[in-house]
Amino acid sequence: MKVTWSDVDNKLSLVRTRIHRTAHIVVDSSKCEVCPHEACVYGCPATCYRVIDGKVKFAYDGCVECGTCDVMCDQGAVTWTYPPGGFGVLYRLL
């Protein structure tokens, strides 16, 4: 079955997140500035990584904790941990 971006958007509309004040993903922007591919922008299903004014910007609040960015970033820019218990993404509506 072919999965489209519309399917992904529909699924994402069903998840909820409880955001903790401490970021569970920290991105070293100095490494992003010299990144040769910006793979995270294409790999993150929740569009947490976006190119704005020519620079990669990251916001963790919509993260679905898939780990894709941690795997795809080969520049060592991503420090990834799960949010504390009770925080983060909730999949109960799927």
Q: List residues near ligand SF4 by CB under 6 A.
A: 25, 27, 31-32, 35, 38-40, 43-46, 48-49, 56, 63-69, 72-73, 75, 77-78
> Shortest Cβ distance from residue 54 to ligand SF4 (Å)?
12
> Shortest Cβ distance from residue 9 to ligand SF4 (Å)?
14
Question: 74: which 2 tokens?
Answer: 């080969």
> Shortest Cβ distance from residue 1 to ligand SF4 (Å)?
22
- Displacement of CA 78 from its chain's centroid (Å): 10
Rounded CA separation 77/6 (Å): 29
